[in-house]
Structure 1
Amino acid sequence: MCGRINMALDPSDLIDELGIDHSSYEHRERYNVPPGGTVPIIVDRPDSDGLVQRRLEPARWGLVPGWAKDLKIGYRAFNARSESARSKPMFRSAFARQRAVVPVHAYYEWVEGPQGKQPWMMHAVGHDHLFMAGLFEFKKLNEEWSRDVGMDAAASSGWLVSATILTQQAQGHLAEVHARMPVMLSGEQVGEWIDPTADAGAADEFLSLHSASFDPRTIGRYAVGTAVGNVRNEGPELAQPV
């Protein structure tokens, strides 16, 4: 799984690398982002003229499907199992037509040890960002929900944009930390995953092929202090190795 994110670096640096045409994401340096926080997503969406543009947008972490009657449902949907997302009512619509990539600097997982839970930080080797496969949704906000979300950047248009991160069985050394890990992509795979013309069958096939070819050596990890376990804690010291 993936339940805490490090957003120390601005993903706007990826605009040239990934051919992003438009960005409305405003970076805020954070080292301890929990579900319900704001994350960046990369999507390919048609504009008013039908021309597909690659966009970097803010989203609330935790998927809220269009049929949801309560925005809090997103707190239970910050991760989606890649093996079943295509068929689960919560995720199947987004899996078929609204796939995203969530670019983050790193993420944290915890290992149970003799002295309690030890947090580890996972990061890309040779690159500043991890590219996590995800799904996104739009939810029209009524007056009450608009008050609830307040100044949330993910809801500035009267629609809440939300996202979930896909997970798969952990591989290689990452299995020593947790049984699950995010579905992580290379920069070259971003366009194929978010292609709006690809259907659910093509996305499912992509995931099967990717799982078989993923190299866990592209991910590094090191232990960090236990302070990251409290969502109230912030600052670069949370990402220092111990």
Structure 2
Amino acid sequence: MIDGMCGRINMGLDPADLVDELEIDHVSYAHRELYNVPPGGTLPIIVDRPDADGVLSRRLEPARWGLVPGWAKDVKIGFRAFNARSETVRSKPMFRSAFARQRTVVPVPAYYEWTAGPDGKKPWMMRSAHHDFLFMAGLYEFKKLADEEQAVAGDDPAAATGWLVTTTILTTEAQGHLAEVHDRMPVMMAPGSIEEWTAPQSDADGAAEVLARLLDANDPDAVERFRVGSEVGNVRNQGSYLAQPVG
């Protein structure tokens, strides 16, 4: 279920800056400048959903990172589902419902990975070579929270309405220079592909066709990487210094 990759995100930039470029109609994601977001943290997601009148609108929403299906008895299951393998996402019970009807894009400035060496693990930061954001294919889910779960959620923006919104990031076999860091990489896309991936009218067959096109177009050279300091390994550390090149 877990790839063990793409487990730390840099959210130093505000995705609300994408409102005009991506024609986003509604923003409920409230940005916090964080440089070290782990699973269980809050990520922005882009969703295309019909409103009460059936009119499709594009929304930038907060979601807890780690998918929790509506049928889950324990929301902690999300900590095991922050990534979904693209090869099996259509058939896995954890993901197949969301794959068929609730696909999203997760816009992030960068993500971190580690390589193992003789003197320990070394972190790298991956970011877009051509844009301020990487656009990662994802899924999202809703789960109605019981009263006690709502109390535990507190002021979690992903659970502000009594419904927990969660997300996962799709991964695929790493290509090019990214394979030197990890054997998996996120499924990424150009902004122009967002609409066909998030289209709510598309079913599992349609989603599979779009996913195949995204995988064919997944270009590792559209991502640049550089070494960063070991401080990013501790989730308590925050600050822009975590994204500074070293070595």
Coarse TM-score class (shorter-chain normalised):
over 0.9
Distance in 1 (alpha carbons) for counterparts of 2:192 and 2:143: 30
Distance in 2 (alpha carbons) for counterparts of 1:145 and 1:23: 25
- From 56, 67, 73, give the equivalent of 2:71: 67
Residue equivalent to 1:5: 9
Distance in 1 (alpha carbons) for counterparts of 2:39 and 2:219: 27
| Count of matched residue pairs | 242
- Which secondary structure state, in structure 1, belongs to the residue aligned with residue 172 of structure 2? strand
Residue equivalent to 2:105: 101
Distance in 1 (alpha carbons) for counterparts of 2:114 and 2:60: 30
Residue equivalent to 1:47: 51
Distance in 1 (alpha carbons) for counterparts of 2:174 and 2:205: 23
Distance in 1 (alpha carbons) for counterparts of 2:176 and 2:214: 15
Normalised by the length of structure 1, the TM-score is: 0.99
Residue type at the aligned position of 1:218: A
Distance in 2 (alpha carbons) for counterparts of 1:174 and 1:11: 24
- Which secondary structure state, in structure 1, belongs to the residue aligned with residue 232 of structure 2? helix
CA displacement at 1:46 relative to structure 2: 0.7
Deviations 1:30-58 (A, max 9, x none): 00000000000000011000111000000
Residue equivalent to 1:183: 187
CA RMSD of aligned residues (A): 0.6
Alignment of 1:151 onto 2:186: no
Residue equivalent to 1:81: 85
- The answer to whether the 8 Å contact 2:104/2:197 transfers is yes
Deviations 1:101-132 (A, max 9, x none): 00000000000011100000000012100000
- The share of aligned pairs that are identical, in percent, is 68
Alignment of 1:199 onto 2:203: yes
Distance in 2 (alpha carbons) for counterparts of 1:157 and 1:134: 22
Alignment of 1:238 onto 2:223: no
CA displacement at 1:208 relative to structure 2: 1.5
Residue type at the aligned position of 1:197: Q
- Which secondary structure state, in structure 1, belongs to the residue aligned with residue 143 of structure 2? strand
Q: Which runs of 5+ in 1 are unaligned?
A: none
Residue type at the aligned position of 2:83: N
Residue equivalent to 2:133: 129
CA displacement at 1:209 relative to structure 2: 2.1
Q: Which runs of 5+ in 2 are unaligned?
A: none
Distance in 2 (alpha carbons) for counterparts of 1:80 and 1:10: 25
- Which secondary structure state, in structure 2, belongs to the residue aligned with residue 209 of structure 1? helix
CA displacement at 1:11 relative to structure 2: 0.1
CA displacement at 1:213 relative to structure 2: 2.3
CA displacement at 1:205 relative to structure 2: 1.4
Distance in 1 (alpha carbons) for counterparts of 2:216 and 2:15: 28
Q: Which runs of 4+ in 1 moved over 2 A?
A: none
- Which secondary structure state, in structure 1, belongs to the residue aligned with residue 89 of structure 2? coil
Distance in 2 (alpha carbons) for counterparts of 1:32 and 1:85: 26
Normalised by the length of structure 2, the TM-score is: 0.97
Distance in 2 (alpha carbons) for counterparts of 1:132 and 1:107: 11
